[in-house]
Structure 1
Amino acid sequence: MLAHQKGPEYSREDIVSQAWGSILSTYFPQYASPDGGVIYSIRRAAARGEAVVLPQAKPCRVIVIEMAQAPADPWPSLPDPGMSLPPARDILWVACKAPVEDTPAGWKDLMEQCASRLELAHPARKLYVILAIGLKWMMFKWDPRHKTRSPLQMLADHRPDTWAMDSRYRYDSGIAGQSHVVYSNNAPSPDLVDTTLAYSLEFWAPEPDAPPTWAGEQPRPLNWRAMQLLEACFTRVRNTVSVGENDTGFN
């Protein structure tokens, strides 16, 4: 994976969006069964709510997963570009930043940039959002119904200082195995997002101190639990009932 080869000081987003594009194409197939069903589309560098950003800040790259109900008529495995596709609906955004941005401040900037675009593209529609910096990632829900004070805060560069988070970002506690949100036992104190606990896509190296395996078996890969969690997140996205359709100007 190029993101690993370039190292943590690499300053371009291209390798991050390329890695996620490959992953998403595996879990969100762009075809439907012969008798109809759900069809997904992967929109790389999607034109969604392009917001004005400060001159010194690079805008994040966004990959979008769209879902549509395919007709019951015979449907090609890969629709022709000129075909009239059924109405679609965004169900997942992956907002990407370069590896060099992997700091609490970098995560904060990514979250704010993504929110500014979501606010324009989906002011009333819920969907899932993966924030990705280099090989690291975290998933949240975007829920525009929540406009009051957020139950989440982000740990800042200088701990224990925290930053307030956009109230429309929510944590899905129904996905088991997550650890990037540290629960507070002292209500009404907020739960804390710890960016140092973001999950990693680095899985090609064996797990350190892995127990012996049977002859011919490969040792468990590094971050295998994070891989299982990512699959659980994708399952959650696919199984969530999404209401409404995208605006007609989306592409």
Structure 2
Amino acid sequence: MGEAVDRLQVAHANRPLYLFLNVGLHWMIFWWNPSQPAAPGQHLRIVDARGTGHWDVDPRVHSPLAGNIPFNANTPPLYVDNNRVIHTNQAVSLDCMTWTAQGALQHQRDLDFLETCIQSIYNAAAAGQLPGQNDPSFECA
């Protein structure tokens, strides 16, 4: 998360956007909004898997709900609780190789949610809700 924030504060210092954080086969989406940082004491925190330690998250990183990503009964549970704590053990899976005994993808709901997120971002961009363009100097070669 820290490396992503370091990059965002240079590449998108004033531009709100969605942030996908991926580790291995798990991911989480957040809302980066540098113009509206969380109020003091209202920022997100990451808790370790054992629940024994936590780290404060940059106040410009918000829950995906702030960016209007649609969580509902058909999506995986939100990994940010009502106390603004990020539970990494609830990250969404990218596993598209594990099948159930019935021949269905084990993590189909997670994969569907990824598609929903991408479609929501596309719709927001098409509606002009995500202004600006990437600085060409930050584009991948």
TM over 0.5: yes
Read off the aligned partner of 1:113 and give its amino acid letter.
E
Read off the aligned partner of 2:12 and give its amino acid letter.
H
Read off the aligned partner of 1:183 and give its amino acid letter.
D
Q: How does 1:79-158 map to 2 (within 5 A)?
A: 111-147=1-37, 148-149=39-40, 150-158=42-50
Read off the aligned partner of 1:144 and give its amino acid letter.
P
> Are the aligned partners of 1:126 and 1:242 in contact in 2 as well (CA < 8 Å)?
yes
134 and 248 in structure 1: CA distance in 2 versus 1, 3 angstrom threshold: closer
Which of 151, 159, 162 aligns to 2:51? It is 159
Which of 198, 207, 215 aligns to 2:100? It is 207
Aligned position for 1:242: 130
> Are the aligned partners of 1:143 and 1:168 in contact in 2 as well (CA < 8 Å)?
yes
Scaled by the length of structure 1, the TM-score of the pair is 0.46
> Are the aligned partners of 1:180 and 1:195 in contact in 2 as well (CA < 8 Å)?
no
- 1:96-122 per-residue CA deviation (whole Å, 9 max, x = no partner) reads xxxxxxxxxxxxxxx000100100111
Q: Distance in 1 between matches of 2:25 and 2:133?
A: 31
Partner SS state of residue 100, structure 2: coil
Read off the aligned partner of 1:159 and give its amino acid letter.
G
Q: Distance in 1 between matches of 2:34 and 2:88?
A: 23
Q: Distance in 2 between matches of 1:245 and 1:119?
A: 15
143 and 120 in structure 1: CA distance in 2 versus 1, 3 angstrom threshold: same
TM-superposed CA distance for 1:158, in Å, is: 4.4
Of all paired residues, the percent bearing the same amino acid is: 27
Which of 43, 65, 86 aligns to 1:193? It is 86
Q: How does 1:57-72 map to 2 (within 5 A)?
A: none
Aligned position for 1:179: 77
- 1:29-59 per-residue CA deviation (whole Å, 9 max, x = no partner) reads xxxxxxxxxxxxxxxxxxxxxxxxxxxxxxx
1:224 aligned onto 2:117: no
Q: Distance in 2 between matches of 1:153 and 1:207?
A: 34
TM-superposed CA distance for 1:170, in Å, is: 1.2
Structure 2 regions of 5+ residues with no counterpart?
none
158 and 221 in structure 1: CA distance in 2 versus 1, 3 angstrom threshold: closer
TM-superposed CA distance for 1:138, in Å, is: 0.8
> Are the aligned partners of 1:180 and 1:197 in contact in 2 as well (CA < 8 Å)?
yes
Q: CA RMSD in A?
A: 2.0
> Are the aligned partners of 2:63 and 2:80 in contact in 1 as well (CA < 8 Å)?
no
> Are the aligned partners of 2:49 and 2:88 in contact in 1 as well (CA < 8 Å)?
no
Structure 1 regions of 5+ residues with no counterpart?
1-110, 185-189, 211-218
Read off the aligned partner of 1:196 and give its amino acid letter.
N
The structure whose Rg is larger is 1
Q: Distance in 2 between matches of 1:180 and 1:195?
A: 11
Q: Distance in 2 between matches of 1:248 and 1:142?
A: 20
Partner SS state of residue 114, structure 2: helix
Read off the aligned partner of 1:220 and give its amino acid letter.
A
Aligned length in residues: 127
**Which structure has more helix as a fraction of its residues?**
2
